[in-house]
Amino acid sequence: MAEGENEDRTEQASEKRLEDAREKGEVPRSRDLSGALVVLAGVSAMLSSGSMMYAHARQIYRLGLSYSRTDLFSDRLPLHALSTAGREAVALMVPIFAATAIAALAEPMLLGGLNFSVQALQPNFGRLDPIAGVAKMFSLNSLVELSKSLLKLLFIGGTLVLLLRHEEAAVIATGNGTVGSGIAQMLTLLGNAGLLFAVVLGVIGGVDAVWQRFDYNRRHRMTKQEQRDEHKDTDGNPELKGRIRQVAQQLSRRRMMQELPKADVVVVNPTHFAVALKYDENRMRAPRVVAKGADVVAQQIRLVASAHRIPLVEAPPLARALYATTHLGQEIPAALYAAVAQILAYVYQLKQATEQGAPIPVLPKPEIDPELQGRYREPQ
């Protein structure tokens, strides 16, 4: 069953899935690459500070091999010799310790990046399951780890054996020389051995880093259903989003219809578009759109406007331009000031004519730039 699930996991892991894995402490790591960098840093520090390390090592040998008769019978000799040798040993190893510590801290940034997870610190009793433990022993990852261990044993052991055989004569001759030459020979041998160890381990670590990255991506692959479920959880259920959008539109339309009775005029197209305008010269810089709609909504605006005796003015190009350029609650653009001013003047004259029984004024036909009508302009 597990194999079947892995076969279905053909999709690359999403950013959310990888982020969830990081929160659990799951990031690609290569112990071999980390070990290679630490060893290389330590060897580099030893080779670069060889003269200083030689001086400290020589001092440690001198303390152990040279002392006076008075010192021999003194009660303070052991304590003095140990404390002095300890200080020299610490000074000898400080460069190596510092270099390896920096390498150990810097290595995670090369593969997976720095990551701190609280969830990884929590106890997981599922790891104590013996059946799961036996299954892991025969997994692909266990086979790879076993192969790497055998390769490391073969290559690193073989390389160090060849080095010792090559330096066999020099090592044997060390006892015939001075203390200083023996110390120098020892440090040189340790440096060469560490350098070869770091190079071989670095090659294995580089291959392991590539494998760890590949295995990490393989283990976090997703099925198509998991991608759909995650998309639904992240972006929300499409049906629910549609319902929310519908409710929001209904509420917006309801508020718009409540504001409509305050309008001074409704510019229509005559049936496809309707835009209601309100202008208060004491409170507004320019007329403002209080309602707008197309088709069914436009028909509703016309009905409400008629019920509240708001003038309906047919000006198709202006209605299309207002609908295309202005949102609810916004002032009309400056390019439509003159056209709207003509309509408002007509409404004012119409009101006076109705009250006084005067002749009905001529309906203006303001010129509108076709570009202002956007995709709603009529074809020429």
Same domain? For 215 and 264 the reply is: no
Cβ atoms within 10 Å, residue 323:
22
Q: In CATH, what number is assigned to the domain containing residue 294?
A: 3.40.1690.10
Query: What local confidence, expressed as pLDDT, does residue 118 receive?
Result: 53
Q: Is residue 243 part of a domain?
A: no
Q: How many domains does the chain have?
A: 2
What is the pLDDT tens value at each position of the chain, 380 positions in all?
Answer: 344 444 577 777 777 777 777 777 677 777 777 888 888 888 788 777 767 776 777 777 676 666 655 555 566 656 666 777 778 777 778 888 888 888 877 767 766 655 555 554 555 555 555 665 555 666 666 777 777 778 778 877 887 788 778 777 776 766 666 666 766 777 677 777 777 777 888 888 888 888 888 888 888 788 877 777 777 666 656 666 667 777 777 787 888 888 899 999 999 988 889 999 999 888 889 999 999 999 889 999 999 999 999 999 999 999 999 999 998 889 999 999 999 999 999 999 999 888 888 888 888 888 888 888 888 776 55
Same domain? For 113 and 202 the reply is: yes
Same domain? For 119 and 188 the reply is: yes
What is the pTM for the complete model shown? 0.43
Written as six digits, the tokens of 252 are 């917006």
Q: Which residues, at least 6 apart from 227, have a Cβ–Cβ distance to it below 8 Å? A: 11, 14
Same domain? For 211 and 288 the reply is: no
Same domain? For 183 and 295 the reply is: no
Same domain? For 142 and 274 the reply is: no
Q: Which H or E element spans position 43?
A: helix 31-48
CA separation for the pair 221, 355 (Å, rounded): 78
Q: Is residue 356 part of a domain?
A: yes
Same domain? For 301 and 367 the reply is: yes
In 3D, which of 329, 334, 345, 343 has the Cα closest to residue 372?
Answer: 334
274 forms beta bridges with 268, 293
At 273, phi and psi to the nearest 5?
A: -130, 150
Cβ atoms of 259 and 290 within 8 Å: the answer is yes
Query: What local confidence, expressed as pLDDT, does residue 5 receive?
Result: 46
Domain that holds residue 317: 256-376
180-193 as b/e, with b when 16 or more CB fall inside 10 Å? eebbbbebebebbb
Same domain? For 192 and 44 the reply is: yes
Query: What local confidence, expressed as pLDDT, does residue 2 receive?
Result: 42
Query: What local confidence, expressed as pLDDT, does residue 288 receive?
Result: 93
Cβ atoms within 10 Å, residue 240:
10
Query: What local confidence, expressed as pLDDT, does residue 114 receive?
Result: 58
Same domain? For 179 and 86 the reply is: yes
Side chain identity, residue 160: L
Strands 288-294, 273-278: pairing is antiparallel
In 3D, which of 293, 272, 287 has the Cα closest to residue 343?
Answer: 287
Q: Is residue 251 part of a domain?
A: no
Same domain? For 141 and 190 the reply is: yes
Same domain? For 202 and 260 the reply is: no
Query: What local confidence, expressed as pLDDT, does residue 3 receive?
Result: 42
Same domain? For 151 and 270 the reply is: no
**Integer CA distances (angstroms), 379 to 339, 341, 370, 371, in order:** 21, 26, 10, 12
CA 146 to chain centroid: 34
